[in-house]
Structure 1
Amino acid sequence: MKKPKFLTLFLFCFFCFTMSLQAQNETKTSDSIKKLIEKKRNYNKKNGFGYTIQVYYGNERTAKSTHAKFGILYPRVSRKLVYNNPEWKVQVGNYKTKLEADRANLIFSKEFTGTIVIPMGK
């Protein structure tokens, strides 16, 4: 008498498990999900993601010299010179998390005053 109950329970659990896997597979292969992921990747390529550190904000001459000085002191860290009328910015690094950016900022703030962590694309 216990065998039929056990068999019924086993078959019920097996059926639920296979339906769950089928639902997961349908979600993973959904065209709308693929389009959404592609849209997010394109957005990240265009606008960036994560955090960067701004080491200078001000006039052109000082921005260019700060950009060059940073390149000499930290050659492996990416850097860019950004112009937003009428001011220039020197932004460095590309960090996935704010914690990573804060740790790097502690190092850079020893050489450069007024450094701040900002979200990418700002």
Structure 2
Amino acid sequence: MELKSNHRTLFCVVITFVFVCFSYSQNASVTINANEKIPEILTLKKKLETENKLSDGYTIQLYYGELKEATKVMKEYQKFFDSWPASIKYETPNYKVWVGNFNSRLEADRARIEIKNKFPSVFILKPDRT
């Protein structure tokens, strides 16, 4: 009996020692060396996205024709809507008023339905962003 008790005690001591050895924690620190231009690049990316220059998405065209009328249409649009940015694009020989930068056709369609109440001739297009 005494031999079994000694083996049991020895076994418990060994197991405890093993757990203590493996549970020893280590301290570590992480140093991140980031390029200082990252915030500048992110700002530029946001700017390009708002100007519709990075997206492969859809846009809504309100008008095409002369600059004077395009400016008038854009101002009229901005009176009623501020959800989507509007811009005037020039493509020889016409100026175009484009609205929004939509990731999907569904998003563009929802906006078109809303805008169509004030501008009945609007349509969705997928511009070539070159």
TM-score, L = length of structure 1:
0.55
Compute the displacement of 1:7 (Å): 2.0
- 1:114 aligns with 123
- 2:103 aligns with 98
1:81 aligns with 2:122: no
- 2:38 aligns with 36
Report SS of the residue matched to 2:37.
helix
Report SS of the residue matched to 1:3.
helix
Q: Is there any run of 5+ residues in structure 2 with no aligned partner, and where?
A: 1-13
Give the structure with the higher percent helix. 1
1:101–1:62 CA distance, 2 compared to 1 (3 A): farther
1:8–1:82 CA distance, 2 compared to 1 (3 A): same
C-alpha separation between the residues in 1 aligned to 2:73 and 2:113? 17
TM-score, L = length of structure 2:
0.53
- 2:23 aligns with 10
1:113–1:101 CA distance, 2 compared to 1 (3 A): same
C-alpha separation between the residues in 1 aligned to 2:18 and 2:90? 74
Report SS of the residue matched to 2:23.
helix
- The runs of at least 4 consecutive aligned structure 1 residues that moved more than 4 Å come to 49-52
- 2:49 aligns with 48
8 Å contact from structure 2 (residues 61, 98) kept in 1: yes
Larger Rg over CA atoms: 2
Query: Structure 1 vs Structure 2: percent identity of aligned residues?
Result: 14
Q: Is there any run of 5+ residues in structure 1 with no aligned partner, and where?
A: none
1:117–1:107 CA distance, 2 compared to 1 (3 A): farther
